[in-house]
Structure 1
Amino acid sequence: MRIEFGWSLDGAAWADGGGAAGIARLGPRGLVQLLQGRLGLTRPAVEPAVRVAQYARRIAEADHPWLRASFSVDPWTTASTVLAWRDAAITAGARLEATDAAPERITALCTVEAAAPDLAAGAADDLRELVDVLSEEVTWPLGIESLCCHEDPGSLPGLWPRLFELLETAGVTMEHAAAGEQGRPKLVLVEAEDEWTAAETAARMLAGREGSPLQVLAGADTVLLDQELHRRGLPALGVADSAADRTALQILPLFLSLAVAPVDVQQLAAFLDLRVMDAPEGGREQVGLIPARARSVLLDALAQEPGTGGTAWQEAMAGLEADGEISESGLEMLRALSALVTAPIAPEELTPARVREVTAPLGKRLRALGQGDPSLSRASTHLQVLLEVLEELDPGTVLRERALAQMVESAGGRAGSPFARPEATTRWRISSRPAQLLPVGGDVLWWGADRDDASTGVTWDAAEVEALNGLGARLLPPAQLAALDTDAGLRGLHGAERIIVIRTRRRAEKPTAPHALLAHLAAGRAAPGQGVEDVLESIRLSPEATLRTDGFALAGARRGVKVPRPSRIAPLPTDLAKEVEPARHLLPPRLSYSQAEDLLGCRQKWTYKNGLQIRAASVATVPTGNRMIGTLVHAVVEQLVGSGDRRPSADRIRQEIETQVPRLASELLLPGREVELADVRERTVRSLATFFDRLGAAGLVITSVESRFEEPLVLHLQQGDVTVPFVGYRDVEAEDAEGRPTVIDLKWTYAARKYPELFEAGEALQLAAYAHALHEEGTDVGYFLLSQGEFVSANPALDPHGRPVLDIEDLWSRGTAGMAEALDEIGSGRVDARSGQILLDADQDLSTPRSAAKKTYASAREAARSQGSLVVDARCDYCEFSLLCGMRGDDS
C-alpha cells in the first residue's frame, strides 16, 4: 500500500487516492486509524460525553485548588474545557507528569492526570500509543510501501515528526510531494445579494456546461442549490452540515423536560405532537412516539385542563386503555408518560438512578419504532450515550437540572441532515475543503467561499509553552500552525485552471466576508501597486451580468433563459366577500354563543371554522395567557360554591387557587413565573372576596355555576324555518329573596372598558342569550370582571355606576335575525367578512391603532341599531383566518 498524506486531507474520499490501486489519500486521523488496524490497537469507540463524565469524576477526586471554584459552580463545563486542554497537551507530545514551578494550569492538568489513569482514550491518546508502540522493536509488518507527505514532516506539530521517523525506521519509504509548478488559475467571482440568486446562477452554470471536467468545492451547504439543480433535471450535490438540533436529537431533551417538576404543559403538548420526519422528498410516513389515536385525545384533554393529572386527562387515559386498536408498545409509552407528568420528579430527587428509571419506557418505545429508521435509531443512540454518562456518576448524586441538560446536549453530539444525500453523478467531483481538490486542471466551482472563523485550538501563554516543552511537547507558533491549512488549501486551488467563485454577501440574514484564500489568489494576480481588494473588484460580477440578450453565459457555460412576462402584484381587495356555489347544506347542527358571534361578526370565519371544519392543530389549542387564567378562576368559583361557603375567606380562596393551579394552569409554576403567579393569586383573592361580598350584600344567593342549558332556536330562513339546539353554559346563576333570577358571566380580561362599553351600548349579546334561555321575566344580567374585581350590571346593589337596563328581548331578537340573515347569505353563495369589511370601508386595516378601530366599530353599531341589526367586532387582528379572507397579506 502507498499512502498520500496531507495535513488537511481528513474527509477526502478513498477513491481520490486510487484506492483500487492500493493508494490511500489520508489526513492525520485517517492515518492514525489505519496504523491502529495494522498494529492491532483498535478499541471500541468511547463517546466524548462519556469521557467528559469520567474526567469530571477525576477532577473531583484530584480537588486541585485552581479548578475547585469553577468546578463547584459548573462541573460539566469545567470538565469539558479542562479535558480539551489535556487532549491538546497530549497531542502536542507532552507527558503530563508532576513538575515543579509550572504555571497553575499545567500543574492542575498534571494533578488530574495522576488521578485519571483509567480515563478512556481519545484521539490524542491514540497518537501517543502509536508512537510508544513503534518506539519499541516492531516486527509486525505494516504493509505500507511508501508514504508521500504533502508537507515537510519537520513542519508538523506535536508527535507527528516523531511518528514519521518511526515509520521510516519500520521500513516505510518516506517521500515528500514535489512542489510542482505553482499554477495561476483564472479567477471568476460572482457575488449575489442573497442565497436564492446565487443558487440560481450556480445551477445555470452547471446545467450549461459541456465537455470539460469540473470539480465542485462546496464551502457551504447546498440545500438551495440542490433545489435549483432538481428544477433543471440535474442531480443534487447533497452537502449539508450536521447539527445538534435535528429532530432525532430533540426527543430525549423534550422527554426529560417533562420528567422534572413542575411540568410545562406546552412542552407536554409539543411532545404529544412530535413526529420524526424524513426529508420532504423522502415520501415516508411520519412517525410519532405517541400513537396517532391517542395524540388528539390527550391534546383535547390539555385544551380542557391545561395542567397535569386532572379529571380530563384521567378520563382520556381511561378511554385509551379501553381502546383495543392501540398496540401494547404504544400503551406502555402512554402509561409511562401519564405516570411521569402526573407525578414528576422533584428537583431534590433528580438522581442518575431516577433518570434511568423514567427513560426506560422511552428507550423501549424507540427500539420498537426504530427498526430500520435512521432517525429513531439516532434517538436511541442518544439515550444510550446518556445512560453511559450516568453510569460514571454515583447513583445517589443529586443532579442539577442545568447539569443534566448539559449532559443530554453533549451525549447527543451532532446528527446528519436529511438533505445530506448526494445523488449518483459522474459529471462532477465534490469536495468540502480546498485541500481535497485534485490537481487535474480544468475548472473548479467554489460554492459559498465565505470566511471561516473557526477556532484554531488551545492558546497557551509563553510560560505554559515553556512548561509543556519541558514535558516533551512540540508546540508550533499559531501563525505557523495556521499556515499549514492555508498552504494545503492553496495547493489544492492552484491545481485548477480556472476557479469560478459564486458566493452571497449575506447568508442566514448575516453579512459574510470572502474566504481568506481568495485574498491569496487575488494577491497572485495583482499588478505592482495594486491591492487585493482592487483585484477582486476588477473581476467581481453580479448575477445580472451573466444574463445577456441570447441567454445565460458564465465561464464558458451557456444556457437559454426564458424571461417571464412582467406581472403586477394585485392590490389588496376592497371587497372581502367570496362568491361561491350556493351552499344551503351548510346549516349548523347546533349553535352556541361563540358560533352565533362568528355568524354575526364574520360569516367567512364561521364558514371556515364550523361549516367546513377548518381548525387549528390540536397542539395549538392548549390554553395559555388570559384564557388559561380564566379557566382557572372559573374552576375556583365552582369549587367554592360547591363547598357551600357563601362568603369564603381570603385564606379559603387562596387555598383553592393553590389546589387548582397544577390541574388548570401548571405553567404558572414554572421557574421565572413566580411574580406572575403571585399577581394572579392575590388579584383573584381580592376579586373573588369582592364578588361574594357584593352578592351577599345585594341579597343574592348563588343557585348554580357552570349550568348547562339547551333549548330549541327557530331561525326564519328563506328556505323555510329551521330549528337548531342552542346550547351553552351559564357561569353563575343567582336568586334574590323573591326568587328573581340573575345571570352573571365571569370574564378575565385586562381590557377594562370592553365589557362595560358593550353593556352600556345594549350590545351584550352573550348575556341576552343566557337570560333568554331562562324564559323568566325580570331576569337581571351582568358581567363580573375577575381581573378588576368589578361588576358590570344595572343592579345598583352590585354596580353603583348607574348603567341602563339591558333590553334582553330586543337584543336577542336582533341577534337571531342577524344569524338568519348570515345563514341565508352563506346558503346563497355569498360569504362576506363583515368585521374586516367595516375596517376596509373606513380606509383602515390591521395596522390601524386599536383606539381608532374601536371608534369605527362604535359608529357601525349605531348605524346597525337604527336598522334593527347589530355589529360584532370579530377581532380580525387575532383571527387565524385573516390570511384567507385577505385582511392579512395577499389573498391570491
Structure 2
Amino acid sequence: MQIEFGWSLDGTSWADAGSGGASGQVRMGPRGLVALLQTRLALTRPSVDPAVRIAQYASAISAARHEWVHDSFDVDPWATAATMLHWRDAAVAAGARLRPAPGLPARIDALCAIEEVAELSPGAADDLRELVELLESLSADPWPLGIDEIRCQESPETLPGMWPRLLRLLAGAGVDVVTAHDAQSGRPELVLVEADDEWAAAETAARFLAGRDGEPVHVLATEDTVLLDQELRRRGQAAIGVAGASANRTSLQILPLYLSIAIAPVDVQQLGAFLDLRVLDAPETDREPIGLVPSRVRRRFLDALAAEPGTGGPAWEAVLTELAADPEEAAALEIAREISALVTDPISPDQLTPARLRAATSWLGTRLRALGQGDPGLVRAGAHLQTFLEVLDTLGEDHVLRPRELSQIVESAGGRAGSPFARPEATSAWTACTRPAQLRADGGDVLWWGADRQDAQTGVTWDPLEITALEGLGAVLLDPAALAALETDAGLRALLGAGRLIVVRTRTRTEQATAPHSLLAHLAADRAEAGEDVAKVLARHLVDPREALGPEGWSLAGSRREVRVPPPAPPVARPDDLTKQVDPAPHLVPQALSYSQAENLLGCRQKWTYRTGLGIRPASVASVPSGNQMIGTLVHAVVEELVNEGTERGRTGPPSAADIERTLDALLPQLASELLLPGREVELTTMRETSVRSLEEFFTRLADAGLVITSVESRFEEPLTLHLRRGDLEVPFLGFRDVLAEDASGRPTVIDLKWTAAAKKYPELFDAGEALQLASYAWSLHDDSADVGYFLLKQGEFVSANPALDPHGRPTLDIAKAWSMTTEGITEALDAIGEGTVSAQSGQILRDAGQDPGTPRQTAKKTYAAAQESARAEGGIVVDARCDFCDFSLLCGLRGDAS
C-alpha cells in the first residue's frame, strides 16, 4: 500500500489517490492514518462518545478537588470539565505525560492532579500515544504493517506533537517515509465571480457546470451546496450534496423537546410542539406523516390544550376518559396515559437525579425503537438518548443535576448530525471536495464554491511557563503561527495545481457581509505589482455575473449556455376590491350559529366562509391560547370555581381575597401553565394581583347591588329563524353566558367577562347600542326585563346601565334593536354568500384607507372609528374583525405578494 499523507487530508476520498484506491494508493490525514494503523496492529476498540468522556473527567475533577479548578467547577461543572478535558487531550497529543511534579504552573499542575485519579476512556490523543508506545516496544522486532510507502506532503519534522516520532517509528518498521518535493509552483488563471446573494451565485455556478458539455471540472465546495444543488437539478445535473453537520437537526431535537415537558413547570407551547411532532413520512400518499404521538392521541390532547392551555384539567382528563371507554383504543390509551403521567407529574428542577431522568425517558426509548426500524433520523435520535443515559450512569445515582448542567449534557450527548441535503449524486462530469488541501486539480479547471473567509482552527494556547513545563513532560509544541501555516500551505499547494480557478462567492451570506477566503489573498499577492494592494488585485479579476449574459447566450470561463431572456413584466398590483365573486353557494349556511360566527358574518364574510363554511382552520397546535386569551380563560374558570364552591359550602357574601388567590393558584397549572415558567415571575405576579383585586371588586359590587349569581358558564341553545331570500332557515343559536344573576324581584342580569387591554372598546360599544353579544345573551333568556353588562377584568370595572354597578350613567341598551341589527346583518351576509358575493368588509376599510394589517393599531382604530361613525349615520354597523390577528388575511389578499 502506498499512502499520500497530509496534515489537512482527513476526509478525502480513496479514489482521489493516483489511479484510485483499488490499486493500493490512498490519501489520508492524521485521523485516517491512526485508524489504519490501529487496524493493522489490532488496537481497535469500541468508540466512547465525547459526552461520556466529559462525564468521566467531571468525576475525576470532583475526586481530585484541585484548588485551581475548584471554584469554576462548583459554578459550572460540565463546561469546566469539557474545557479541562480539551486541554488535557491537547497536552497528551503533544506528547506530554501528565505526572505531578514540583513547580508546575497552576493549570498544568491541575491537569496532572486530575490525571492521577481519572478513570478516563481513551480518546484520539490516547490512541496516538498508544500507537507510538506499541511501535517503540516492537522496534527490535517490527510487526509487518503492509504499508510500502508514506509520501508526506509536509516534512515530518514540521508536524506537531508525537507525529514526528510516529513517522520515524514507521520508517524503522520498514515503511518508506518520504517527503513530497513536487510542490506546485504554477499560477492558475483566476476568475472571481461575486454575486449579491446566494441565489444569484448558485445560478451562475450551476450554469457554469451545466455548460461544460461533459468536460471534467473539479468542484471545491467550502460552503454548503443546498441552493446550488437546487439549481443543478433544475438543469438536469447531479447534486454535489455538501451540507455540514449541525446540532440543529430534527433527530437531535427530540430528546431536548421531550425533557422540556418532563421537567416542571410544563411549557404548554412546547407540549403542543411535542404532540404535533412528525418523525416519519406518510407510508401512503393519502395518509398523514407519523408522529411520536399517534394521531388519535395527538388530536385529542391538542384540542384539550386549545380549550385549556395547561395539563390535568377537565378537558385533559376527558381525553383519557374517552379513550378508556373505547375497547379498540387500548394501545392509544396506554400511550396517552404515559404522556399524561409525564406532564401532570413532572420532575421538580431540584430533583433531577439520574434515576428520575432514566424513568422519565423510558417511554421515549421504547417509542423510538418501535418506530425506528432503520430510519436514519430515529436511529440517530435513539443513539442520542442512549448516550445521554450512559452519561447519567457515569455521573452516578447520587448526582443531582442542575437545569443548566442537564441542558449542557443533552447538547453534548447529541453531538452533530448530518444534513438531509448531504446526498451527493454520481456523475462523471466533476469531482468534489470540501477543503482546499483535498483538491487534486492536475492542471484542470476548478470551480470554487463559497470562497468566504473562515475562522482558523487554533489549538490550545499555552503561556511561556506552561510551554516550558509541558516540554519538560515530553511535549513537542509548535508555535500557533506554524500550526496554522500547515493548513494554509497545504491549501495553497493544491490550488496552485489548477489550470484555471473559477471562484464563485457572495458578498453576503445569511444576511451577513462576507470577506474573501484568506487563500485568495495569497493568490492575489502572487499577482500584485509593486506596492499594489491585494484588494485591487482581486478587483482586477472580478467578474459581475450579469456580464456573462450576452446576445448569444450565457458564457463564462469557457462554459456556454443558451439562455432565453423573458420579456420584463410589471409586478401584479394588489386588488383594490377584496370582494370575491364566485359561483352561487346556497349550500354554505351554518348548521348551528354562535355569537362568534355572527360576529364574523358581520365583520368579514370571507372569514366566516373560510373558517365555518369551508372548514379551513389553523392546526390545533397553533390554536393553543396564550397572552390575554389564556388569562381570560383562567379568570373565567376562577369565577366559575368560586361560585360553585360557594354554592356547595353554603357561603354567603363575596369570596375573600385569600379564596380568590387560592383558587387562582390551583387552576394555574391547568389553564395558564406558561406563566409558571422561569422568567415570567413579574408577569405572573402582576396578573395575580390584578385578578384578585378585580374579582374582589366584581363580587363585592354585585353583592352591594343586591344581585345574586344563579349560574356561571350556563349553556343555552335556542331556535333562530332567518328569513333568507331563498327561503326561511332555522338554525340553533347557542353559546355560554358567563354570569347570570338575579335581583330580589327575580329580574335577570347577564354579565359578560372580558380580559382585555382595550379599556374603551366595550364602553363605546355599549354606549352606541352595539353591544351585540350582550343582546344575543339577553335574547336567549326571552325576558324583556333582562339587564346586561360587561365586567372588564383587567380594569376591574363594570359597563352597565345599572347605576349600582356602573356610576357613569350609561343609557339602557336597546336589546330588541341590537338583536334586530344582528339578525339583519346575518341574513344579509348569508344572502350575499349564497349568491356568490363574498366581501371582506373589515379588510376593505383598511385597504380603502391605504392601510394593511401591519398598520399601527392606534392608526387602524382611528380608521375604523371613522367608518363606524359613517355607518351609524346610515343606520348600519361596522364590526372590527381584527385583520391583524386573522388567519385568512393571505387568502383575502390583504396581506402578501399579489404576484
The TM-score bracket by the shorter chain reads over 0.9
Partner secondary structure for residue 89 of structure 2: helix
1:877 correspondence with 2:879: no
Q: Compute the displacement of 1:140 (Å).
A: 2.4
Q: What secondary structure sits across from 1:242 in the alignment?
A: coil
Q: How does 1:740-779 map to 2 (within 5 A)?
A: 740-779=747-786
Is the counterpart of residue 208 in structure 1 residue 211 in structure 2?
yes
Which of the numbers 590, 596, 616 marks the counterpart of 2:618?
A: 616
**2:375 aligns to what?**
373
Q: After TM superposition, what 4+ stretches of structure 1 lie above 4 angstroms from structure 2? A: 277-285, 322-327
* Ranges in structure 1 where 5+ consecutive residues have no aligned partner: none
1:294 aligns with 2:297: yes
Distance of 1:419 and 1:570 partners within structure 2: 34
Matched, 1:136 2:143: no
CA distance in 1, matches of 2:126, 2:371: 38
Structure 1 position 285, deviation (Å): 6.8
Alignment of 1:477-556 (within 5 A): 477-556=479-558
Is it true that 1:678 corresponds to 2:685 in the alignment? yes
Q: Is 1:178 aligned with 2:181?
A: yes
| CA displacement 1:27-63 (0-9 Å, x = unmatched) | 0000000000000100100000000000000000000
Give ranges in structure 2 of 5+ residues lacking alignment.
none
In the other structure, the counterpart of 1:247 is 250
Letter in 2 for 1:603: R
Does the CA-based 8 Å contact 2:748-2:787 persist in structure 1?
Answer: yes
1:281 deviation in Å? 15
Distance across 1 between alignment mates of 2:30 and 2:781: 85
SS at match of 2:131: helix
Please say if residues 790 and 798 of structure 2, whose CA atoms lie closer than 8 Å, have aligned partners that are also in contact. Answer: yes
- How far apart, in 2, do the equivalents of 1:52 and 1:67 lie? 15
TM score, norm. by length of structure 1: 0.98
* 1:602 aligned partner: 604
Is 1:795 equivalent to 2:802 in the alignment? yes
Q: Deviations over 1:341-368 (max 9, x none)?
A: 0111112221001111111111010000
Aligned equivalent of 1:26, options 12, 25, 28: 28
The secondary structure found in structure 2 opposite 1:704 is: strand
1:176-230 CA deviation, whole Å, 9 max, x = no partner? 1122451111100000010000000000001111353210000100000000001
Which runs of structure 2 are paired with 1:552-571 in the superposition (5 Å)? 552-571=554-573
- CA contact under 8 A between 1:883 and 1:891: conserved in structure 2? no
Per the normalisation by structure 2, the TM-score is 0.97
Residue in 2 that maps onto 1:649: 656
Q: Distance in 2 between matches of 1:847 and 1:211?
A: 51
Q: Is the 8 A contact 1:333 1:365 kept in 2?
A: no
Name the amino acid aligned to 1:130.
L
Distance 1:14 1:318, change over 3 A: farther
Deviation digits for residues 364-384 of structure 1, max 9, x if unmatched? 100000002110000000000
Q: Give the structure 2 partner of residue 199 of structure 1.
A: 202
- Residue of structure 1 in register with 2:387 after alignment: 385
Task: Choose which of 264, 267, 280 in structure 2 pairs with 1:264.
Answer: 267
Instruction: Answer yes or no: is the 8 Å Cα contact 1:278–1:284 preserved in 2.
Output: no
1:106 equivalent among 97, 105, 108: 108
Distance 2:251 2:216 in 1: 38
Whole-Å separation in 2 of the counterparts to 1:43 and 1:234: 42
Deviation at 1:278, TM superposition (A): 6.7
For residue 408 of structure 1, report the CA deviation from its aligned partner: 0.5
Structure 1 match to 2:847 = 840
Q: Give CA-to-partner distance per residue, 1:693-726, whole Å, 9 cap, x none.
A: 1111111111111000001111111101111110
- Whole-Å Cα distance in 2 between the matches of residues 648 and 410 of structure 1? 52
Q: Give the Cα separation in 2 of the matches to 1:437 and 1:284.
A: 46
Looking at structure 2, the residues matched to 701 and 282 of structure 1 have their Cα atoms a distance apart, in angstroms, of 58
Q: Deviations over 1:510-568 (max 9, x none)?
A: 11110000011111222333222111000101111111111110000000111111111
Letter in 2 for 1:446: W
The question of whether the paired residues in 2 share the 8 Å contact of 1:50 and 1:385 is answered with yes
Aligned mates of 1:460, 1:104 — CA distance in 2: 12
Shift of residue 282, structure 1, vs aligned partner: 13
- Determine the C-alpha separation between the residues in 1 that align with 2:197 and 2:229: 16
Q: Which of 208, 233, 258 is residue 236 of structure 2 equivalent to?
A: 233
Paired letter, 1:2 = Q
Match of 1:308 in 2: 311
User: CA distance change for structure 1 residues 818 and 282 in 2, over 3 Å: closer, same or farther?
Assistant: closer
- In the TM superposition, residue 838 of structure 1 has moved relative to its aligned partner by 1.9
Return the offset for 1:886. Answer: 1.6
Cα 1:174–1:708 change in 2 (3 A) is same
Task: Provide the rounded CA distance (Å) in 1 between the counterparts of 2:285 and 2:434.
Answer: 24
- For residues 841 and 282 of structure 1, what CA distance do their matches in structure 2 show? 44
1:488 alignment partner AA: A
From 79, 83, 86, the equivalent of 1:84 is: 86
Q: Helix, strand or coil for the counterpart of 1:258?
A: helix
- Are the counterparts in 2 of residues 353 and 396 from structure 1 also a CA contact under 8 Å? no
1:3 alignment partner AA: I
Letter in 2 for 1:369: L
Secondary structure of the structure 2 residue equivalent to 1:376 = helix
SS where residue 639 of structure 2 aligns? helix
Distance 1:273 1:775, change over 3 A: same
Same amino acid, percent of matched pairs? 66
**1:344-355 matches, cutoff 5 A:** 344-355=346-357
User: C-alpha displacement at 1:891, in angstroms?
Assistant: 3.8
Decide whether the 8 Å contact of 1:94 with 1:471 is kept in 2: yes
Match of 2:720 in 1: 713
CA distance in 1, matches of 2:218, 2:185: 19
Q: CA deviation at 1:643?
A: 1.7
Corresponding residue SS for 2:766: helix
Paired amino acid for 1:29: R
Letter in 1 for 2:773: Q
For 2:361, what is the secondary structure of its paired residue?
A: helix
Tell me, in whole angstroms, the C-alpha distance in 2 between the residues paired with 1:718 and 1:356: 66
Letter aligned with residue 597 of structure 1? E
Partner of 2:637: 635
Structure 2 partner of 1:126: 127
Matches of 1:327 and 1:533, distance apart in 2: 71
Of 350-359 and 864-873, deviating more is 864-873
**CA contact under 8 A between 1:279 and 1:419: conserved in structure 2?**
no
Q: CA RMSD in A?
A: 1.7
Say which SS state the counterpart of residue 92 (structure 2) adopts. helix
How far residue 852 of structure 1 moved from its aligned partner, in angstroms, is: 3.6
Measure the CA separation in 2 of the matches of 1:846 and 1:878. 8
In structure 1, what is the Cα distance between the partners aligned to 2:441 and 2:274? 51
Query: In the TM superposition, what is the alpha-carbon distance from 1:459 to its structure 2 partner?
Result: 0.7
Q: Which stretch shows the higher mean deviation, 349-358 or 852-861?
A: 852-861
1:335 aligns with 2:337: yes
Residues 224 and 242, structure 2, Cα contact 8 Å, conserved in 1: yes
Distance 1:255 1:113, change over 3 A: same
Pairing of 1:43-122 with structure 2 (within 5 A): 43-116=45-118, 118-122=119-123
CA distance in 2, matches of 1:380, 1:322: 33
Q: State the secondary structure of the residue aligned to 1:147.
A: strand
Are 1:317 and 2:297 matched, yes or no?
no
Could you tell me whether the CA contact under 8 Å between 1:668 and 1:674 is conserved in 2?
yes
| Alignment partners' CA distance in 1, 2:778 and 2:69 | 72
Cα gap change, 1:486 to 1:720, in 2 (>3 Å): same
Cα distance, 1:782 vs structure 2? 0.3
Shift of 1:318: 2.4
SS of corresponding position for 2:820:
helix
* 8 Å Cα contact 2:216-2:428 kept in structure 1: no
Instruction: Report the secondary structure of 1:773's partner residue.
Output: helix
Asked if the contact 1:333/1:362 (under 8 Å) is kept, the reply is no
**Do the aligned partners of 2:306 and 2:623 also contact (CA within 8 Å) in 1?**
yes
| Contact 1:278/1:418 (<8 A) preserved | no
Seen in structure 2, the aligned counterparts of structure 1 residues 484 and 566 have a Cα distance that, compared at 3 Å, is same
Q: Quick one: structure 1 residues 331 and 10, their matched pair in 2 at CA, closer, same or farther if it must change by over 3 Å?
A: farther
The 1:403–1:280 alpha-carbon spacing in structure 2 relative to 1, beyond 3 Å, is farther
CA distance in 2, matches of 1:101, 1:490: 43
Residue 358 of structure 1 pairs with residue 354 of structure 2: no
CA contact (8 A) 2:183 2:493 kept: no
With over 3 angstroms needed to count, the CA separation of the structure-2 counterparts of 1:322 and 1:246, relative to structure 1, is farther
The alpha-carbon deviation at position 845 of structure 1 amounts to: 3.1
What is the CA-CA distance between 1:386 and the residue it aligns to? 0.4
Map Cα deviations across residues 837-868 of structure 1 (whole Å, 9 max, x no partner).
12223343334443343333233333333444
- In 1, the alpha carbon distance for the partners of 2:115 and 2:11 equals 31
Count of equivalent residues: 890
Provide the rounded CA distance (Å) in 1 between the counterparts of 2:271 and 2:121.
37
For residue 506 of structure 1, report the CA deviation from its aligned partner. 0.5
